[in-house]
Each structure stands twice: as structure tokens, then as C-alpha cells.
Amino acid sequence: MSDVYLKRDQYLHLRLNKDEQAQLSRHASFCGMTNADYVRKLISGYVPKVAPPYNYLLMTKELRSIGGNMNQIAKVANAERIIDAEKYKVIASHLFQKIDEIEKAVGEPISLEDYPDGNL
């Protein structure tokens, strides 16, 4: 068991009405988290992001595959001197950079300090 779980020896009992409980559960579910994990993230100063749809994961996997193919083609092209391999490598690098930016934008939680007006 992780040390983090062993250190969680404090219990919080929180009363919510039905609507509040439903809203908390809905928000946590959209983020792929339990209610407890969702609240922990909030009290740590971050707003969890909605989990990306399955299609997003397939899309980024496909983009990475395309980028890998581009790298393989660039290596062959460079060895054969068929095309400008340096230019091709730059394009492949740009593709991977954009994929990383997309993953970062979708996956990282937003700090409460960066959230507009401090409101969720």
C-alpha cells in the first residue's frame, strides 16, 4: 500500500443535500475520479479536468503512429538522399510537439489561482 494512503488518518464527514451529492458525483465521474479523489484535488488547489473521450486517446495514438512512420521514412530518405531529410525531421518533430501540447492541455488540472474569478 502506498505511503500516501497510510498517512491519511483523518476522516471528514460532510453533509450534502441530494443535489449537491449528485453534482459532486457527476463532476468526479466526468473526471474519472472518485468523490474523495475529486475533493482532494480541489483542496490541493486544482480543478480536475474532464477525462478525455476514448476517441481522443485513439486519435493521439494514431498521430503518434504517423509521426513514427514519418521518422522511419526520414531515416530512409536521408540514407538514400531522396528528399530533404532535415526538413522532414523538423516536420515530424513539430507533430510530436503538437501531440504533447494537446495531451498537456487536456490532461493537466488547472490551478485554482489560474481559474477566472476563483470560481469553478
27 domain-assigned: yes
Shared-domain flag, residues 90 and 71: yes
pLDDT in tens, 58-91: 788 888 888 888 888 878 877 877 777 777 778 7
pTM, two decimals, is: 0.53
DSSP-based three-state secondary structure for 47 = strand
State whether residue 14 is helix, strand or coil: coil
- C-alpha–C-alpha distance, residues 88 and 73, integer Å: 9
Q: Express each pLDDT in 20-63 by its tens digit.
A: 999 999 999 988 899 999 999 999 999 888 887 777 777 888 88
**pLDDT band per the 50, 70, 90 thresholds, residue 101:** confident
Per-residue confidence (pLDDT) for residue 114, from 0 to 100: 62
| Dist. CA 88–CA 102, nearest whole Å | 21
Q: Which structural domain, as residue segments, surrounds residue 44?
A: 16-51
Cβ pair 30, 50 in contact under 8 A:
yes
Q: Would 101 be classed as within a structural domain?
A: yes
Same domain, 39 and 69: no
pLDDT of residue 96: 83
Domain count, the chain: 2
Whether the pLDDT of residue 15 is over 60: the answer is: yes
Residues 42 and 57 in one domain: no
The label of the residue with cell 525531421 reads 89
